[in-house]
Amino acid sequence: VELLLLLLQLLLLLLFLFSWGKILVAPVDGSHWLSMKILVKELVARGHEVIVLVPETSLLIKGSQSFSTVMYKVPYTKEELDAKMNELRKGLFKPPQLLDLMENVNRLVNFTTLQAKGCESLLQNRELMNQLREERFEVLLTDPFLPCGSLLSHLFSIPAVYFLRGLPCQLDTRANQCPSPPSFIPIYYSDNTDRMNFPQRVKNTLLYALETYLCTVMYASFDDLVSRYIDKDMTYERLLGEGAIWLLRYDFTFEWPRPIMPNMVFIGGINCAKKAPLPADLEEFVEGSGEDGFIVFTLGSMVSNMPKEIAKLFFDAFRQIPQRVLWRYEGEIPADAPKNVKVLKWLPQNDLLAHPKARVFMTHGGTHGMYEGICNGVPMLMFPLFGDQRDNVHRMVSKGVAEQLLIYDLTTDAIVTGLTKLIHDKSYHDNIKRLSDLHNDRPVSPLDLAVFWTEFVMRHNGADHLRVAAHDLNWIQYFCLDVLAFLALIVITVVWLTVKCCLFCTRKCCRRTAKKKQA
Amino acid sequence: VELLLLLLQLLLLLLFLFSWGKILVAPVDGSHWLSMKILVKELVARGHEVIVLVPETSLLIKGSQSFSTVMYKVPYTKEELDAKMNELRKGLFKPPQLLDLMENVNRLVNFTTLQAKGCESLLQNRELMNQLREERFEVLLTDPFLPCGSLLSHLFSIPAVYFLRGLPCQLDTRANQCPSPPSFIPIYYSDNTDRMNFPQRVKNTLLYALETYLCTVMYASFDDLVSRYIDKDMTYERLLGEGAIWLLRYDFTFEWPRPIMPNMVFIGGINCAKKAPLPADLEEFVEGSGEDGFIVFTLGSMVSNMPKEIAKLFFDAFRQIPQRVLWRYEGEIPADAPKNVKVLKWLPQNDLLAHPKARVFMTHGGTHGMYEGICNGVPMLMFPLFGDQRDNVHRMVSKGVAEQLLIYDLTTDAIVTGLTKLIHDKSYHDNIKRLSDLHNDRPVSPLDLAVFWTEFVMRHNGADHLRVAAHDLNWIQYFCLDVLAFLALIVITVVWLTVKCCLFCTRKCCRRTAKKKQA
């Protein structure tokens, strides 16, 4: 066996030496990294040389044995970064206020502006930039939530592959020239579905206009960076439009059906592609749940704690149900915590949901968790906290596979009622089973698809044949407004000339008749 | 070996008995059938029970050992059908006239109207209709060039899978609610590419409007049929919109990049997926061509003959070149025909083009041949005849992989010059090689993809989650014109009220001042 392992290591070394290509990765920290890491590791496993660019101060990104990292200095400390993150988390457990939208936008802008500064310090690091440029990467894999990757792609002339779920204010579809008629594509947070009546369409159209305005506010610091380092007239939106392939964590069991573009590749559910057996203690715990099954409860990688009084509501609720509960929670555990609850600092969430005894998934509605709920077919009790979560939850609820509770307006009864409904009303189970069947039924697994298209871009130095010519048009040209104005002008001129001619003729005739009469 | 064969037959029989599903196929005759047949045969090979609906009077569709056919009576004879076909072929070898567009539209309408009558006689055949209904098919595979399939799909409530390259006047994208801005999507026969200057965009927009009008003319008989057999207010376009999956013989090495829809599946090149070795005599002939290689010359399944004087030009041209030529031609062969030319009644076109010694493909520019040229990477000398061919040729020429000659305006010199250019100018070879590499590089073969999505529709009884809600909107709602009018009304009212108020106030003030002055 040892000899075999040695041989295997030798083989891996050989593969590495003759690796297919060189890939530069510019990731985004936090939960964004969790699914991109899956693709990065797979690319390494397939023999590519991968270098991941990591800011010195980061939250989740760490070096690994399987890929190399290159650190770069940033002008902020871990404390400052954590402070900004905490700002984002602020008010999660309190009822939202009317002015929260602008407040939230401000906090997000503060957070991204800080990271844009980190990016700028990389761009100014001449030594590192030269070193990277000389590596002659074949492709740049990045999450365009932050501008560093697409900037490097442009500056180094390397084709870019984007990896994302979507960008605030739909900058992704805008940049990719993807039509999004507000008549059947609901705006985030509009609480609309894709079928809208007249008042809903009015609301949606107004929100679309608001979103267009918000785009200019939200990406001001990126636009500034781009115009300083590339071209005065360049915007972040135009820079993004240069991307070769958009790997979107999209799936139409979750997203509303909509027009798409040839360079959009759908890899929704990439995070639940691979499953591992449960650790022995968890396996024993969930197997012991008998006919009643068990519940998985997490609020995502960013929120591992909650106010004591809210936690108490959950403990009290769990005491009243026969199911066992696995809860990712780092807060204080009361002495009288019910025995059917197992509290842990980390959960193998996807592996647990894949267990046939999983009954309900209690989640905040982040896209990773939601796809794990969908692909494993487990109904969800959802507590949206921030970002895109309220909108995600709205979709799941409107598809009849989830119930929503507001974390700032909870009662023990509401939790128990919600859980009971999800477990005993067969419709939730049937609906999620249907979504799950649709979601899992595809010709190529999302991970293989993501690898294929990344390698495609490497093989062909981009994917220009999938890029629409609309990128060269401004919006007046795109909507043919100049053509319509020109045609209108012709019509008006012709009508005017005809009228003038007629008037001229009639006048002449009248004069003649008048003269005749006079005569 | 015999025992093995017997066992294999037994296995096939078993597979047939426990076949996965029942598929009804409503094909379109002529070249349309050539590629659909590939999918039909593959579905049979995978164990499905397939029944192909064939009009008693047909051109190319014949029964086969691998699939069952059900014949239905039609109110026209083979002679009448051939006469209509000949009408379509009329004037192929003469220069086009100014009024040809309307003439061609008329001929096409005559041809499809005849076939719509054939469809009606099936709908009126109660016995057969009942028999088909009771078979409880799981999916209906059809080419929507004719309306029979989608009518049956609606009447029997079976989900439909469409198999096509595209429909006249873009009815396919219209019916599937796929946005097609005329600012970067060139209209067929506009001679535009996807990059247009202002005059070209004016032309394109006007042609788009003309096309919209032509749609109502071209599909009048289908609309009539649909409104009589389904619903008074139903149009063929709306009926088509019910389709679950559109298997499009599309590939972006050939089509201009454009917005697409989630239920559009691209299977361009499905006809060159499988290759067979050449028959011994052909193999010997092409191998004997030496360094100079050989040329393949066909004008498609519909045109196997040409006027003698035109054929002479080709013979004379071939006499002047060192390449060998394989020519599919049923006309008279002159006594002094050059020895480097082999004339045959049928050619294994794709297998020949796959041969490394193939230098040029002389073709009329039908989509089947063109994909075979692309996937095998052979530059093309093109002679567009009718239908979409001129437009296809225009694309290939603008991509630098082909040269065009007009069949009614030929000289021997032009043919020789064209061939020489294509063989010796390296750019054609490099360009087609690049297109070929892009075209052949995909995660799933087009045939497997077509099978997958047909089976997907069978497994899930449709693909509703990929169908946009825009189908429920009329065009005023789609473009939010009602919303804009409503918002404009509000703005106007507010402005009007403000102005009125201001005027009222100023008047009051003025009066007071006037009174004061009087006082």
Could you tell me if residue A8 is inside a domain? no
CB contact under 8 A, B444 and A443: yes
Could you tell me if residue B112 is inside a domain? yes
Are A430 and A485 found together in one domain? no
pLDDT digits (tens, 9 = 90+) for B460-516: 999 999 999 999 999 999 999 999 999 999 999 999 999 999 999 988 888 877 777
What integer is the mean pLDDT of B44-55?
92
| Last-in-domain residue among A418, A440, A462 | A440
CB contact under 8 A, A194 and B469: yes
Are B83 and B212 found together in one domain? yes
Residue B351: its pLDDT value, please? 94
User: Residue B293: is its pLDDT beyond 90?
Assistant: yes
Question: Please, are residues B163 and B143 in contact by the beta-carbon 8 Å criterion?
Answer: yes
CB contact under 8 A, A443 and B441: no
Who has greater pLDDT, A233 or A301? Answer: A233
pLDDT digits (tens, 9 = 90+) for A310-366: 999 999 999 999 999 999 999 889 888 999 999 999 899 999 999 999 999 999 999
pLDDT digits (tens, 9 = 90+) for B125-147: 999 999 999 999 999 999 999 99
Cβ-Cβ contacts under 8 Å, B182 against chain A: 480
Could you tell me if residue B11 is inside a domain? no
How far apart are alpha carbons B157 and B159 in whole angstroms? Answer: 7
Are A54 and A157 found together in one domain? yes
CB contact under 8 A, A259 and B257: no
Are A286 and A420 found together in one domain? yes
Which residue of chain A has the CA closest to B460?
Answer: A438
Identify the domain containing residue A198 by its residue range.
19-272+445-472
Could you tell me if residue A6 is inside a domain? no
pLDDT digits (tens, 9 = 90+) for B332-352: 899 889 999 999 998 999 999
Place of tokens 């939202």: A96
Are A267 and A285 found together in one domain? no
pTM, to two decimals: 0.92
Residue B260: its pLDDT value, please? 97
How far apart are alpha carbons A147 and A242 in whole angstroms? Answer: 13
| Last-in-domain residue among B440, B463, B497 | B440
- Reported as a pLDDT band with limits 50, 70 and 90, residue A115 is confident
Residue A297: its pLDDT value, please? 96
Could you give the number of structural domains in chain A?
A: 3
- Reported as a pLDDT band with limits 50, 70 and 90, residue A99 is low
Residue B96: its pLDDT value, please? 74
- Which member of B184, B259, B487 has the closest CB to residue A178? B259
Are A344 and A464 found together in one domain? no
- Reported as a pLDDT band with limits 50, 70 and 90, residue B403 is very high
How many percent of chain B have pLDDT more than 70? 97
pLDDT digits (tens, 9 = 90+) for B195-241: 999 999 999 999 999 999 988 989 999 999 999 999 999 999 999 99
User: Residue B360: is its pLDDT beyond 90?
Assistant: yes
Q: Which site among B197, B480, B482 would you substitute to test the A interface, given the most A Cβ atoms closer than 10 Å to its Cβ?
A: B480
Are B201 and B87 found together in one domain? yes
Q: Which two tokens stand for residue B24?
A: 């009804």
Place of tokens 């509960």: A325
Place of tokens 């970002």: A387
Question: Please, are residues B258 and B180 in contact by the beta-carbon 8 Å criterion?
Answer: yes
- Which member of B261, B452, B480 has the closest CB to residue A182? B480
- Reported as a pLDDT band with limits 50, 70 and 90, residue A466 is very high
Could you tell me if residue A1 is inside a domain? no
Cβ-Cβ contacts under 8 Å, A470 against chain B: 181, 183-184
Mean pLDDT of chain B: 91
ipTM associated with this complex: 0.91
Are B505 and B388 found together in one domain? no
CATH number of residue B32's parent domain: 3.40.50.2000
pLDDT digits (tens, 9 = 90+) for A8-40: 777 766 655 555 789 999 999 888 898 999 999
Are B192 and B51 found together in one domain? yes
Which residue of chain A has the CA closest to B178?
Answer: A259
Put simply, the chain A residues between 407 and 466 with a CB less than 8 A from any chain B CB are 437-438, 441, 443-444, 448-449, 452, 456, 459-460, 465-466
- Which member of B182, B193, B486 has the closest CB to residue A480? B182
Could you tell me if residue B53 is inside a domain? yes
Are A397 and A431 found together in one domain? yes
**Which one-letter DSSP state was computed for residue A260?**
B
How far apart are alpha carbons A275 and A352 in whole angstroms? Answer: 9
Cβ-Cβ contacts under 8 Å, A248 against chain B: none
Residue A141: its pLDDT value, please? 98
Residue B519: its pLDDT value, please? 67
- Which member of A252, A480, A483 has the closest CB to residue B262? A252
Residue B179: its pLDDT value, please? 96
Are B336 and B231 found together in one domain? no
How far apart are alpha carbons A47 and A22 in whole angstroms? Answer: 10
Are B335 and B426 found together in one domain? yes
Task: Give the A:B interface size as CB pairs under 8 Å.
Answer: 147
Residue A98: its pLDDT value, please? 64
User: Residue A107: is its pLDDT beyond 90?
Assistant: no
Question: Please, are residues B139 and B160 in contact by the beta-carbon 8 Å criterion?
Answer: yes
Question: Please, are residues A262 and B250 in contact by the beta-carbon 8 Å criterion?
Answer: no
How far apart are alpha carbons B243 and A511 in whole angstroms? Answer: 67
Could you tell me if residue B7 is inside a domain? no
Could you tell me if residue A9 is inside a domain? no
CB contact under 8 A, A487 and B179: no
- Whether residue A180 lies within 8 A of chain B, CB to CB, comes out as no
How many percent of chain B have pLDDT more than 90? 70
Question: Please, are residues B264 and A268 in contact by the beta-carbon 8 Å criterion?
Answer: no
Which residue of chain A has the CA closest to B255?
Answer: A465
What integer is the mean pLDDT of A493-517?
88
How far apart are alpha carbons B46 and B33 in whole angstroms? Answer: 20
Residue A359: its pLDDT value, please? 96
CA distance readout (Å), A364 to A381, A388, A404: 8, 10, 9
Rounded CA Rg of chain A? 28
